[in-house]
Amino acid sequence: MLTISPSLSIPLEQIEFSAIRAQGSGGQHVNKVSSAIHLRFDSQASSLPDSCREAILRSRDNRVSADGVIMIKAQRFRSQARNREDALERLAGFIRDCCTQQKPRRPTRPTLAAKRRRLTNKARRSVVKERRRSLED
């Protein structure tokens, strides 16, 4: 089970892993060993709550396809096991970010002290600009 939060977890059977060859430098090791992990998770066919599925579809992340399939490529480490753990951590973080409820913004008014500070600074600035003017005006 991949634990996302105390109340939300995903069975590993719903996540597809495939080992691929990593890109970039690394010489012979990178050319011969399939140490990178390509993770594929179909959020729409998973056991996630409906609100999480909708949030994943709404996200404008390039790792999510139009069908709601999340694809993550992990190639940061030299070993396949560490890349697999990294991919799972990144998937859990992504789903956690999508599924957390955003607190609604409550508009607030500026305090009386803030209003006074603004007006004081405005008056001070006005005096500075007034003194720059020529005397003939």
Residue spans of the domains in the chain: they are: 2-99
Cα(117)–Cα(59) distance, rounded to whole angstroms? 40
Which residue(s) pair with 69 in the sheet? 42
Q: What is the average per-residue pLDDT within 2-9?
A: 79
CA distance 99 to 46: 14
Residue 18: how many CB atoms within 10 A of its CB?
A: 10
Classified by CATH at the fold level, domain 2-99 comes out as: Double Stranded RNA Binding Domain (3.30.160)
- DSSP code, position 46: S
Does the pTM surpass 0.75? The reply is no
Kindly state the tokens that stand for 114: 């803030």
Q: Which residue has the tokens 């305090």?
A: 111
pLDDT band at 137 (very low <50, low <70, confident <90, very high): low
pLDDT number for residue 129: 94
Q: pLDDT-derived band of residue 135, with 50, 70 and 90 as boundaries?
A: confident
**Mean pLDDT over the full length of the chain:** 87
Mean pLDDT highest for which of 5-9, 31-35, 60-64, 91-95?
91-95
Residues 55/48, Cβ–Cβ less than 8 Å: no
